[in-house]
Amino acid sequence: MTAIRLSKAAIVAAIAFFSTLVAFGNITDYGTNFGFVSHVMMMDTIFPDASIKYRAITSAGVQNAAYVLIIAAETLTALLCWVGAFRMLSRLSAGAAAFNQAKGIAILGLTLGFLVWQVGFMSVGGEWFGMWMSKQWNGVPDAFRFFITILGVLIYVSLPDKDTA
């Protein structure tokens, strides 16, 4: 059973590492990555005849606020997953109830990560702003890959651990 518990802690740490790298990249290369958010929100590269262009947001202030919110959510995802992974590691040998309780913060972090990439990028970016129509700024395939990975980890980690006899 310890191998399964160790595996759960390790994959939560892997998501924490990924989220850390994403947040770090967005912070240290703000301008480049802001360009992505800006173009998606301006909807300037979607199909020219798309009737949803009225949804475009051209205010740099609103675009920056959205980008800062994205970075904050990615950073919080990383922090929650790091704390959750370490809490799980600290309870590898504990009883099942203690180990299952230790997963709570990791589950919150994984849930937030799912919401960032599924709601933020896939739903808001992809569908509301029509990001899928852009050849240049289409992050839908990446977002899908990220949130499906996180969802798989969330399902696995959420499975209850039992005491072994």
What digits encode the pLDDT tens for the residues 107-122?
999 999 999 999 999 9
128, two tokens: 């509301």
Average pLDDT for residues 124-137, to the nearest whole number? 97
Give the predicted TM-score (pTM) of the model. 0.94
Structural domain boundaries in the chain: 2-158
46, two tokens: 């979607």
C-alpha 8/C-alpha 15 separation (Å) is 11
Summarised one tens digit per residue, pLDDT across range 34-80 is: 999 999 999 999 999 999 999 999 999 999 999 999 999 999 999 99
Tally of CA atoms within 13 A in the half-sphere of 82 that contains its CB: 11
Q: What is the DSSP letter of 162?
A: -
Summarised one tens digit per residue, pLDDT across range 3-22 is: 999 999 999 999 999 999 99
Residue percentage of the chain with pLDDT more than 90: 96
